[in-house]
Amino acid sequence: MQPPAQTKVECAFPSISWRGSALMLVHHMRESKFERGRRLLGEGFRNSLGRLGASPVARPVAFADTASGGPAQDSQFRGRVGRAVRAILPAGVAVLALATLLALAAPAKSVAQGDQASLLIRGRNVEVSRAAATQAPRTEGDQALADGWPLYRTERGQEAFNDAMATLRATDGTAPAPGSFKSCVRLACNLSLPALGAEGWIPPGRIWVSPAEYVLIVRSPRLREGQSYRRRAPRDMRYFVFHEFHNSTRNTDPFDTISSHSGSVFVPFYMSKQWTDARGRRFVIVLQVAPYDVVSFHATDKGSAGPGMEVAKNMTEELEPLQALAGIVIATILKTAAPQLEVVNHGGNEGLPMLNEYEHRLETLRAHPGAPAVALPFAPARIERVAAASGRLEDLIVQRPGSAPIPIAERGIVPPRAASSASASLRSASLVADPGPTLVEPIRPATRPPPQPEPRLVEPIRPATRPARESGG
């Protein structure tokens, strides 16, 4: 259908079609001028449909007569155009609204990412609701994320994780040259390490054990600043004990284990499994939550007479090589500060793989008495840098995958001691599985012994007689 020859469509924007004016609306809304577009669309456009005879100057979009065509013919044409525009109006409004949301959402997303990168690490997910936290995790990869950051089920576990990530960020830098370790492969040398402070804390920071591996020492006090710890006298310090994470959930997340140890001090040290940082370097975290000589309760068979360290390892798992090196580093630091300490495992096979690695190194040094002394490169974590550390999780570490579910038949059951270690060489004779029961003779029905005869009276019952008193008594 063609419009009358003397009738044309005009727009309030000179030389711009109706479609062009709609595109301009979208452009203005992308510049945060949504209200201007809404007024133009809602008031001007709708009013023009209801006021087709109004002046072009007074309406954004209008249909005006420019020739002396018949009013009836013009009125019919205007009615048809008005109905068509009203039909497409809802779709146009929806398109404009969608364009507005997309334009406003894109910058909001970039701002949120920028905010995460600038947030202080030690304050992440602190003093927030714990309702969405994972209640029964098994590894760090099982923890729920809130705003891209792990959410632990207790404030204490959250603080420990944040302290570790802040220390990681504060010590980020260039790795030492390979020449720093050429005489100390796998720590087969006399070590010079950071010394314990007077308050019983190992200095936090990175202790490099190779150009691509380090031990991250993290200070995460369980008590608030100004509170004091009960500490043992040097004469009461006799053992340094290696523990393992033995529990029915098989949870090896050290931060969640700290959440569980909410009462008295269990051990002052907790060791993680091997992690990978954002630069591709491998590291193990050792968290110190109290002075090394704090009064703790972890090895009652030894009177808890000394510090202990929980190692993230289940009974059925191998000790990771970098965990072994981290255990050697911590034990050496403590033995240097308190030479009377005897390094032991908790008992049976628990902690035995770590103890074997420590003793193997000592045997190697005794076989080579001229081994050089090497000062391992150490990057200290400055207090002010830890406090000011910020960044996103993906800028710090390669996130660990979640753990596979435990079969229903095995849930809540601690693995038997027969399968307590994946290394046959580390099993003690007392932990060898007992053979299965053997049938030694055919099964036969049980026989009941014959009944015993009832007791019978052998003589008549007579009253008892009192013996006569002796004379002269």
Q: Which domain holds residue 24?
A: 7-115
Residues 13 and 157 in one domain: no
CA distances from 407 to 142, 412, 413 (A): 16, 10, 11
Which one-letter DSSP state was computed for residue 225? T
Domain boundary among 426, 444, 462: 426
The verdict on residue 399 lying in a domain is yes
What token pair was written down for 198? Answer: 């007077």
Residues 164 and 273 in one domain: yes
Provide the β-strand partners of residue 196.
none
Domain boundary among 98, 115, 132: 115
Residues 111 and 158 in one domain: no
Nearest residue to 18 (alpha-carbon basis) of 27, 28, 6, 9: 9
The verdict on residue 449 lying in a domain is no
How many domains does the chain fold into? 2
Do 298 and 266 meet the contact criterion of CB atoms below 8 Å apart? yes
Domain boundary among 83, 115, 147: 115
Residues 66 and 174 in one domain: no
Residues 321 and 422 in one domain: yes
Question: pLDDT in tens for each of the 473 residues of the chain?
Answer: 454 444 444 444 334 444 444 444 444 444 444 444 444 444 444 443 333 333 333 333 333 344 444 444 454 545 554 555 455 545 555 545 555 555 544 444 444 555 778 899 999 999 999 999 998 888 888 999 999 999 999 999 999 999 999 999 999 999 999 999 988 989 999 999 999 999 999 999 999 999 999 999 999 999 888 889 999 999 999 999 999 986 667 888 999 988 888 777 889 999 999 999 999 999 999 999 999 999 988 888 788 899 999 999 988 889 999 999 999 999 999 999 999 999 999 988 889 999 999 999 999 999 988 888 899 999 999 999 999 999 999 999 998 887 777 666 665 555 554 444 444 444 333 334 445 667 767 887 887 788 878 887 888 888 888 777 765 54
Burial of 45 per CB tally in 10 Å (0-12, 13-18, 19+): buried
The verdict on residue 304 lying in a domain is yes
Q: Against a cut of 0.85, is the pTM above it?
A: no
Residues 91 and 127 in one domain: no
Q: How far is Cα 420 from Cα 440, in angstroms, rounded to an integer?
A: 30
The verdict on residue 206 lying in a domain is yes
Residues 21 and 158 in one domain: no
The verdict on residue 23 lying in a domain is yes
